[in-house]
């Protein structure tokens, strides 16, 4: 067995071992935290934009919005410029909850980085960036990427690193 298969086996074992924790985090809100983080950054959105940003179906977004509305975290209003559209925004309590949730997540991540130390944290992030860049061009079921596609992906990653955006889902 080559190192590639050993690495895949180890990654699978790591992720399987942590699956219960990851499932708990993702199922706890069924996408509500991501929707609130997006709305926190966007200010106002419509359900279609939210579905696109979350990579979720319109049905899933509708369920998320209904749940958030029942909790008093969002409002849905008719767009005064186009009455066919609905505008979604956070209420004050929704904004406070989103900030609290982001602080909890970022606090946990800062603690992990503190445990790892500066050098290992930077090394980890460099490797993660490289891994994610490769994965962005290695699509399952499609031909493996060409050297040119890989080079373009890394050029784009370098450009994004030099000119970072605020990010869609802020953690800090």
Task: Find, among 14, 46, 169, 19, the residue nearest to 106 by Cα.
Answer: 169
pLDDT at 161: 84
How many C-alpha atoms does 97 have within 13 Å on its Cβ side? Answer: 18
Asked whether 41 and 166 are in contact (CB, 8 A), the reply is yes
pLDDT tens figures, 6-50: 999 988 888 887 766 665 555 555 789 999 999 999 999 999 999
d(CA 44, CA 92): 13
pLDDT tens figures, 40-64: 999 999 999 999 999 899 999 999 9
User: Is the pTM higher than 0.85?
Assistant: no
User: Coil, helix or strand for 167?
Assistant: coil
Cβ partners under 8 Å of residue 68, min gap 6: 32, 35, 36, 74, 94
pLDDT at 57: 94
State the CB neighbour count (10 A cutoff) for residue 33.
20
Over the chain, what is the mean pLDDT?
Answer: 89
Instruction: Using pLDDT thresholds of 50, 70 and 90, give the confidence band for residue 105.
Output: confident
């Amino acid at each position: 067995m080559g190192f590639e298969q050993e690495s895949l086996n180890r990654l699978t074992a790591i992720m399987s071992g942590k699956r219960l924790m990851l499932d708990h985090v993702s199922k706890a809100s069924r996408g509500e935290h991501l929707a609130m983080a997006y709305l926190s950054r966007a200010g106002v959105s419509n359900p279609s934009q939210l579905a696109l940003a979350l990579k979720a179906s319109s049905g899933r977004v509708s369920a998320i919005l209904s749940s958030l509305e029942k909790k008093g975290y969002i409002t849905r209003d008719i767009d005064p410029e186009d009455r066919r559209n609905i505008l979604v925004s956070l209420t004050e309590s929704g904004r406070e909850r989103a900030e609290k949730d982001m602080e909890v997540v970022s606090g946990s991540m800062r603690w992990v980085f503190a445990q790892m130390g500066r050098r290992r944290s930077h090394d980890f992030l460099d490797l993660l960036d490289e891994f994610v860049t490769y994965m962005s061009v290695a699509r399952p079921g499609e031909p493996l990427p060409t050297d040119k596609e890989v080079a373009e992906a890394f050029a784009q990653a370098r450009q994004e690193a030099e000119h970072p955006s605020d990010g869609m889902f802020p953690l800090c």
